[in-house]
């Protein structure tokens, strides 16, 4: 490479001061001697300095429309922060009570087409009779059926409120008011039912698997709490303890992602139920979802899946 070629190739770096002092000096000396390169340098320097002066003024109303968008973003964020953790129970034959409310509501919102509605309705009715732990009267099943078919929105919502004698039903009636917004934020369109009582009432009837979502500030701590619960129950089948220990080591040592997914295995439904109870008391800000098995999780029968997400 002759000196001119070298110079032209490095003119940009020279203008930007992105070379060593001795290299700068080389170019400088060459520019003094070589008119052609010096001319190139003048042109390039003019272009570069013009580039940095290209700034244009902000358009009118930029700040005010930005302000509106920031307000909106803050609202969305607040809504997001209020997200609660969830326990999703994927029932093979789901608790009728929950399904009934779920379907009734889902139809109100138009989540299912008519065909799937009818199928779901049958499942709901059938399981309702199986759902002994729920201790709910048949009236609940009754109200759901005609309204699903008739799609009379106000009446179905009203009927729930009329039935709201015990606090559990009441809480469902209340939570229904909140559902539309919640649903928009959910990836799946499963309906959320808040259970504030002990999870004995969560109607775990048949085989199920469970997905638990927890939003926490400190993922490491959350894993530790889960380890403690696991130890307390002490009935891990495939050595959850070792698995969790590995996990927390990996988490502490390496990449601290914002989402951690754990899968735990327990010997029996009873132990699983016990585990869910413990999780609920360890993370009180958690809600229970029951999702029809047709929607999700059929291939994950044996697991409790725990998703721990870092709060924003």
Binding site for another protein (CB under 8 A): 9-13, 16, 18, 42-59, 62-63, 65-67, 69-71, 73-74, 76-78, 312
Comparing C-alpha atoms, which of 92, 88, 297 is closest to residue 210?
A: 88
Q: For another protein, which is the closer residue by CB, 56 or 187?
A: 56
Nearest-10 Cα torsion for 240, 246, 249, 253: -140
Q: For another protein, which is the closer residue by CB, 11 or 176?
A: 11
Dihedral sign (CA 143, 147, 149, 150)? positive
* Shortest distance (Å) from residue 252 CB to another protein: 19
Taking the C-alpha atoms of residue 211 and residue 307, their distance in angstroms, rounded to an integer, is 7
Chain mean position to CA 253: 25
Q: For another protein, which is the closer residue by CB, 12 or 139?
A: 12
* Shortest distance (Å) from residue 279 CB to another protein: 27
Q: For another protein, which is the closer residue by CB, 46 or 298?
A: 46
The two three-digit tokens of residue 54, written as one number: 């290209």
* Shortest distance (Å) from residue 108 CB to another protein: 32
Q: For another protein, which is the closer residue by CB, 19 or 164?
A: 19
* Shortest distance (Å) from residue 110 CB to another protein: 30
* Shortest distance (Å) from residue 47 CB to another protein: 6
Angle at Cα 226 formed by Cα 223 and Cα 231, nearest 5°? 125
Strand partners of residue 266: 236
Q: For another protein, which is the closer residue by CB, 69 or 118?
A: 69
* Shortest distance (Å) from residue 31 CB to another protein: 14
* Shortest distance (Å) from residue 8 CB to another protein: 8
DSSP 219-287: HHHHHHHHHHHHHHH--BSS-HHHHHHHHHHHHHHS---SEEEEEEEBSSHHHHHHHHHHHHHHS-SEE
Alpha helices in 21-166 (DSSP H): 21-33, 35-51, 62-81, 96-108, 114-130, 139-150, 153-163
Q: For another protein, which is the closer residue by CB, 54 or 184?
A: 54
Q: For another protein, which is the closer residue by CB, 103 or 308?
A: 308
Dihedral sign (CA 225, 304, 270, 268)? negative
* Shortest distance (Å) from residue 28 CB to another protein: 17
Chain mean position to CA 30: 62
């Amino acid at each position: 490479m002759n000196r001119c070629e070298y110079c032209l190739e490095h003119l940009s770096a020279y203008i930007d001061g992105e070379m060593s002092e001795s290299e700068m000096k080389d170019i400088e000396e060459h520019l003094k001697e070589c008119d052609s390169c010096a001319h190139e340098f003048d042109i390039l320097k003019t272009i570069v300095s013009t580039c940095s002066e290209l700034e244009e003024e902000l358009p009118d109303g930029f700040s005010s429309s930005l302000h509106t968008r920031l307000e909106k973003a803050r609202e969305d964020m607040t809504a997001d922060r209020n997200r609660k953790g969830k326990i999703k129970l994927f029932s093979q034959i789901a608790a009728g009570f929950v399904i009934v409310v779920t379907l009734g509501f889902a139809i109100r919102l138009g989540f299912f087409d008519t065909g799937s509605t009818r199928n779901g309705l049958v499942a709901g009715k059938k399981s309702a009779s199986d759902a002994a732990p729920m201790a709910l009267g048949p009236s609940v099943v009754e109200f759901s059926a005609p309204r699903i078919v008739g799609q009379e929105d106000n009446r179905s919502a009203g009927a729930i409120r009329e039935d709201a004698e015990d606090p559990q039903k009441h809480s469902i009636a209340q939570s229904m008011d909140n559902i539309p917004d919640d649903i928009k934020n959910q990836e799946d369109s499963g309906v959320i039912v808040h259970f504030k009582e002990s999870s004995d009432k969560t109607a775990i009837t048949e085989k199920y698997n469970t997905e638990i979502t927890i939003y926490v500030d400190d993922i490491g701590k959350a894993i530790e709490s889960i380890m403690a619960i696991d130890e307390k129950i002490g009935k891990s089948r495939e050595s959850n303890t070792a698995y969790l220990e590995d996990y927390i080591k990996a988490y502490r040592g390496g990449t601290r992602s914002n989402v951690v997914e754990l899968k735990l295995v327990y010997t029996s439904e009873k132990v699983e139920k016990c585990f869910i109870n413990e999780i609920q008391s360890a993370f009180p800000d958690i809600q229970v979802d029951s999702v029809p098995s047709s929607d999700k999780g059929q291939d994950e029968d044996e697991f409790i899946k725990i998703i721990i997400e870092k709060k924003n």
